[in-house]
Amino acid sequence: MTVHTQNVTDYPNNNTWFLVWNFRENVPAEKVTAVFRRICALVINLNNSALDRFPDAKASCVLGIGYDAWLKLGLPQPLPRELKNFETIAGSKHAAISTKGDLHFHIRADEKSLAYDMTSVISAHMKEIADCAVEVQGFRYWDSRSILGFVDGTENPHGADREFFAVVGEEDSAYKGGSYLFVQKYLHDLAAWKSLPVEEQEKVIGRSKENDIEMDDDVKPKNSHIALANVGDDFKVVRDNMPFGNVSSNEMGTYFICYASTFSTVEKMLTNMFIGNPPGNYDRILDFSTAQTGTLFFVPSLDMLDGFGG
């Protein structure tokens, strides 16, 4: 039987909203469940409507569910094998902190108005039962660069590999077609970053800034971002990072988001980056980028989401 996935393998586009919502404790469980069922049906409806009305807009909404929310909502047991509350990964200098998140919405569209409308209608329902903990509006910066000026996502898989690395398969048959979603909101110290000569910035990343060419292994620093964040060709994820920020306050950052068939792959990356490989050899980019959030969600298949919506 064919299992239909949510839009976890879509490519980044021009406008994105990221929303993390937490259920309010004083809302009756029956109301939380009723609104959640409505939200599941709404997400499917919004995706279908956008595809019919604006077929070239590359619009989609992906819904992820956190561990505590899964239990609170009484969703199927046993849970997806690797769904849990993310635990802080702390190195000698930097930490991938853990923050609470019940539901995550990843809303994309080339047309900003469409992304806004999808975000608005979802938020109107969520306000009945939850508070928004994170709202980030991401934008495409030049040729998919982070605000640090380097191309972001070069190591992303393509073609059939995107589904292989992003979507749960037969290894967890009850949740086939789902995906593990991990997010972090990073803020950058742009003043410190811009004070580095381009040659030093390239050593931090492990690639050339202008043409995005990876350094040879005998030249690439062992603590560069590329050297530590990439944990092997058999361990990849599908990233959809976007820059965001406020220019006047110079509070600019990157919303890191990835979809994976196994969360253990993401943990390998984070351990390499924050603790180091070997320990102490942490990712140098963390001297300029600080994680403000860190949350794990599970994205059920469309078929399962349809069942949740009743």
What is the rounded distance in angstroms from the CA atom of residue 272 to the CA atom of residue 286? 12
Strand partners, 257: 183
* Residue 256 backbone phi and psi in degrees, to 5: -85, 125
Residues with Cβ within 8 Å of 39's Cβ and at least 6 positions away in sequence, in order, are 63, 103, 122, 125, 126, 309
Q: Which of 56, 102, 143, 152 is catalytic?
A: 152
* Residue 254 backbone phi and psi in degrees, to 5: -130, 130
152 is catalytic: yes
Among 228, 289, 269, 255, which residue's Cα sits nearest to residue 105?
255
Active site residues: 152
